[in-house]
Structures are given as structure tokens and as C-alpha cells.
Structure 1
């Protein structure tokens, strides 16, 4: 099984429950959630007139290939009522594939590593909690180094993740 990292976020409804439900729905024989970061409350980016997000990162083990993993994430989003009406707008759940082993992919609909992850504190902070010394396959920098570069963005710990 391969190691991958997923970012999950929600800013509509019961945000914490949405994250819990998404983690539960993602799991299948081909995908096991191994570790989950704490939850962080994060200021919206780009479209700022919307509720703050709750975000976390999950470390998973999967036998799914990268595109199949993306399809699984999108299936969970649809099941939970995600609609894509406003880019960067409010959402019940958002699941992004951040990293898949040390692969570098540029496929239609999927870029790995996630192209915006090095600029997003709401991704880097929970990822650094799980894997601070993990190196980005393109930049060669660690997650902790990238996190230092995003200190002007606002986020705050929301709560520790408990199973």
C-alpha cells in the first residue's frame, strides 16, 4: 500500500461532523486512514465573505492509483452534498490529494503534489503536525520550511482530533 496525504476542509453546516463523516466515508478495503492531524480553524482565502473553515490533514495508506484516489475523494464529496457553483466558495466538504508517495504527476484533473499546497498555511500546518520533515518532491524543502514561509496567514488550533 502506498502512502498519501489528503487535505479536508469544511465551512458549511456542522463543520467538525462533516470532517468526521468524510474520513469515515473515505475508508474502504483499498484506503486506510492511518493518522489525522488536529483540526485548525482557518480564515477563507480569495473569497473572503464566507465562514471560516475547519481543516485537517489525513495520512492514508492506499492501493488505489492516484486517479482512482481522486475519484474516491470526489465520490465522498458528492455523497455529502458538495456542489461546485462558486470557485473557492463555501463548501460542505473539500478533499484534496496533496501528496502521493514522492510522485510528481500532471494529469487532466489531478496535479500531484497539489500545486497550491506550499502557499496554504491551512494545508501546511496540519501536514507539519504529521510529517514536518517530509520533503516536497519538487522544491526539496521540508513541510516545516514551507510552513515558515506562510506565517502571515491566519489560522488557529480548533481542537485535537480524537477518534
Structure 2
């Protein structure tokens, strides 16, 4: 039997903002990026009518299961890549800054890492403070950086992430 309650109208997002790890002057920094050109309406079978945004020509993805409380220490990104946190929590810090980012797995768990050793020899530090495993998919872009606009220096916060809140971390 169908429900008689009405669902709220779907409002497709116009763009996607992501926290990016990049580098300036040989050190890793956070930037809040807005990906360009933004969402389009899908015509693909299975998603026709939904919002879609291409992330690039991707290959060689890996799936990681990171133990609770794991500390990866300082490292550079192994490649320019998307990192999708599916579950758990990542806490990313920088060597020469008090900036930090908490990336909670789930709908806002997407970041872009471009602080490779050629542009940031020390890189960033990642700690996984959750009491559960952190699940992540790493997707190299073949050295390409997606088209974007830098909204501001620092990780994306609050409304820029369409729902991520630093107040509800586990």
C-alpha cells in the first residue's frame, strides 16, 4: 500500500564543494573547492533525471579498511586522487598550520588530495580516531586536477558541504 504522506520536492544541487589538500610554497594546505561546471541532469539509464557531476576519467581505484584509532602519520598523497570516505572518521592536520579537517564517512566524505611529494615533501597527517573501522576508496585521476574554483583557503565547513557538521562527529 502506498504511503499517503507527501515527500518534499527534490531540489537538485547546482554544484559540489569539496575539501582539497593541495600545496603552496612546498607545504600542504587546505582549500575549499567548488567543482566546475557543476551538476547536470543525467540521461543515463538508471539515473535519468537525477543530478550528475563527472569526476574525470578515473582508473585503478582501491578500497581500504582502516582499523579504529589508526594513525597514518605525516605523508604526501601518493597520487592526485579522489578519496571517498564511506564510513568512520578521518582527522587531517597540516605540518605548518593549525588548520584541520574532520571528514566523516558518508554523504559528505569526498575530498581531493593533490599534495603529492613533488609539491609537498612533508605532506599532511591523517589520524582515524573513530571507534569503528574507517572505509575509504582512493581513486587516482592520472595526474589531473579537476576544474574548480577556490572558494576560500581552509577546509570546507558548514553550509559549503551541504550537511556536514563538525558538531556531530563520533
TM-score range normalised by the length of the shorter chain: under 0.3
TM-score by length of 1: 0.27
Greater percentage in helix:
1
- Name the larger-Rg structure: 2
- TM-score, structure 2 normalization: 0.26
More strand by share: 2
